[in-house]
Amino acid sequence: MSTATAIAHPNIALVKYWGKRDSELNLPATGSLSMTLDIFPTTTTVTVDGTATTDVLVFGDEERSDGPAVRVSRFLDIVRELAGSDRRARVETVNTVPSAAGLASSASGFAALAVAASAAYGLDLDARELSRLARRGSGSASRSIIPGFAVWHAGESDETSYAEAIDAPDLAMVVAMVEKREKPISSREAMRRTILTSPFYPAWVSSTAESLEAAAEASRAGDVERLGRITEVNASRMHALIQSCDPPIRYLTPVSVEIFDRVAALRASGVGAWATADAGPNVVVLTRPDDVPAVTAALEGLAELAVARPGPAAALVSRTNG
The one segment of 10-18, 66-74, 120-128, 172-180 that binds ligand PMV by CB under 6 A: 10-18
Question: Residues touching ligand PMV: how many (CB under 6 A)?
Answer: 15
Give residues 292-311 in contact with ligand PMV (rule: CB under 6 A): none
What is the C-alpha separation between 198 and 179, in angstroms, rounded?
A: 27
Residues 9, 16, 71, 80: which binds ligand PMV (CB under 6 A)? 16
What is the C-alpha separation between 295 and 274, in angstroms, rounded?
A: 10
Task: Provide, rounded to whole angstroms, the least separation between the CB of residue 107 and ligand PMV.
Answer: 6
The one segment of 40-48, 126-134, 136-144, 298-306 that binds ligand PMV by CB under 6 A: 136-144
Residues 139, 155, 281, 311: which binds ligand PMV (CB under 6 A)? 139
Q: Which of 25, 97, 103, 89 is nearest to 58 (CA)?
A: 89
Residues 2, 5, 32, 118: which binds ligand PMV (CB under 6 A)? 32
Per CB under 6 A, does 138 bind ligand PMV?
A: yes
Q: Which is nearer to ligand PMV, 21 or 188 (CB)?
A: 188
Per CB under 6 A, does 137 bind ligand PMV?
A: no
Task: Provide, rounded to whole angstroms, the least separation between the CB of residue 152 and ligand PMV.
Answer: 8
Task: Provide, rounded to whole angstroms, the least separation between the CB of residue 84 and ligand PMV.
Answer: 28
What is the C-alpha separation between 184 and 180, in angstroms, rounded?
A: 12
What is the residue-wise DSSP string for 91-140?
EEEEE-SPTTSSS-HHHHHHHHHHHHHHHHTT----HHHHHHHHHHH-TT
Binding mask 252-281 for ligand PMV (x = CB under 6 A): --------------------------xx--
Task: Provide, rounded to whole angstroms, the least separation between the CB of residue 26 and ligand PMV.
Answer: 7
For residue 80, the surrounding DSSP H or E stretch is: helix 67-83
What is the C-alpha separation between 155 and 159, in angstroms, rounded?
A: 8
Per CB under 6 A, does 161 bind ligand PMV?
A: no
Q: Which is nearer to ligand PMV, 188 or 193 (CB)?
A: 188
Q: Please list, in sequence order, all residues whose beta carbon lies within 8 angstroms of the beta carbon of residue 213, skipping any fewer than 6 positions away.
A: none
Give residues 276-295 in contact with ligand PMV (rule: CB under 6 A): 278-279
Per CB under 6 A, does 106 bind ligand PMV?
A: yes
Give residues 187-246 in contact with ligand PMV (rule: CB under 6 A): 187-188
What is the C-alpha separation between 123 and 275, in angstroms, rounded?
A: 40
Residues 81 and 153: beta-carbon distance below 8 Å? no
Report phi then psi at 206, rounded to 5.
Answer: -70, -40
Per CB under 6 A, does 140 bind ligand PMV?
A: yes
What is the C-alpha separation between 271 and 241, in angstroms, rounded?
A: 28
The one segment of 51-59, 68-76, 101-109, 208-216 that binds ligand PMV by CB under 6 A: 101-109
Residues 102 and 277: beta-carbon distance below 8 Å? yes
Q: Which of 245, 254, 278, 305 is nearest to 143 (CA)?
A: 278
Task: List strands edge to edge, sheet with 56-59.
Answer: 62-64, 56-59, 88-95, 42-49, 2-8, 315-320
The one segment of 38-46, 103-111, 198-206, 224-232 that binds ligand PMV by CB under 6 A: 103-111
Given the rule CB under 6 A, which residues bind ligand PMV?
A: 13, 16-18, 32, 104, 106-107, 138-140, 187-188, 278-279
